[in-house]
A and B are shown apart, each in its own frame.
Chain A
């Protein structure tokens, strides 16, 4: 999977900046990948403090590793592997003390890990592309993708554009989203479509 991120210029820039000591770039990396790390922990049936432990170990390893990452594009794959290993280590540790309750395990209805990972990759790219949009676009789309969607009259009142302009603006903002260089290859590939 994840190879599609090879050409993600934002990721390369973030890793390079973080390596140079830029806390803001690091924060963005955390925001980008925390849902992936957290999700993998949940998939392994971990909760609460155990998830925090895995997270602590993962971020610390990543901080240590920043200088030696030759290919920033390999980062997501490294995060997946390292998080899984930490989860398994935590589960082994727990088994020595408390038996892992079967109901803490993932539900049988969850998709297989590979499939889930593809969906995560797509979701990560979507969020990153969304974060790169103008504030105007983000505000508009946030109102529109709300569940249930915000009525156009309310959207119009909230961000001060005519009801008739909402449709064209929505289209324009989504078009910009699609053009994101990291997201575009995923959108073109139907195998990664999130069901």
Chain B
């Protein structure tokens, strides 16, 4: 086998390998560029704590698991607690606005963030999701993906 034969064979394998990547995956990558025109900040997950809530007396034998997350953007944080009933959180320092819950699968939900920065989604999401905060003073903050 000559060098040319080897190169050609290797090229063929490389091109075919790339062909295995689903078109939807490529399309999502191309579409991500649209975010560029948005003045968007990413908030990183800085804390994840698995808490165990004290069981309400004489109501339940098993304690409900609680998860608490903290997402940090440049100068604000979004603190979130998830229980079996709700996903509740607070924007610190308080900034009113709206917050979207974007699950990896399924429709986006939208809730107000009140004057003290509180918000709640009932019921909580299941699986992967991220939050997208729009403050009334025009900031847009997207959290990392997390999983419940």
Residues on A facing B (Cβ under 8 Å): 18, 21, 23, 26-27, 30-31, 34-35, 37-39, 49, 51-53, 55-57, 59-64, 66, 89-90, 93-94, 96-97, 122-124, 126-127, 130, 141-142, 144-147, 170-171, 174, 177-178, 187, 194
Contacts and interface: CB of A to CB of B under 8 A. Distances in A.
Contact of B16 (A89, A97, A147): A147
Interface string B1-29: 00010011111111111101110111011
Interface range for B: 35 or more
Interface string B136-148: 0000001011111
Nearest to B45: A89
B61 interface: no
Given A34-B18, A64-B35, A145-B11, 11 more contacts: A23-B33, A51-B25, A55-B28, A56-B32, A66-B36, A96-B147, A97-B148, A127-B14, A127-B18, A146-B12, A194-B13
Given A93-B128, A96-B147, A130 B15 contact: yes
Contacts of B18: 34-35, 123, 127
B126 to A, nearest CB: 8
A141 B146 CA distance: 45
B10 A126 contact: yes
B4 A171 contact: yes
Contacts of B28: 52, 55-56, 59
Contacts of B10: 122, 126, 194
Contacts of B60: none
A142 B21 CA distance: 18
Contacts of A130: 11, 14-15
B127 interface: yes
Given A35-B21, A171-B4, A60 B13 contact: no
A98 to B, nearest CB: 10
Nearest to B27: A30
B8 A170 contact: yes
Contacts of B22: 38
B105 interface: yes
Interface of B: 4, 7-18, 20-22, 24-26, 28-30, 32-33, 35-37, 40, 42, 104-105, 127-128, 142, 144-148
Given A64-B42, A123-B13, A57 B36 contact: no
Contacts of A62: 32
Contacts of A97: 127, 147-148
17 contacts: A27-B30, A30-B30, A37-B29, A53-B128, A56-B28, A57-B145, A59-B32, A60-B32, A60-B35, A90-B145, A93-B145, A96-B147, A97-B148, A123-B13, A123-B17, A123-B18, A145-B9
A102 to B, nearest CB: 20
A34 to B, nearest CB: 5
Contacts of A142: 15
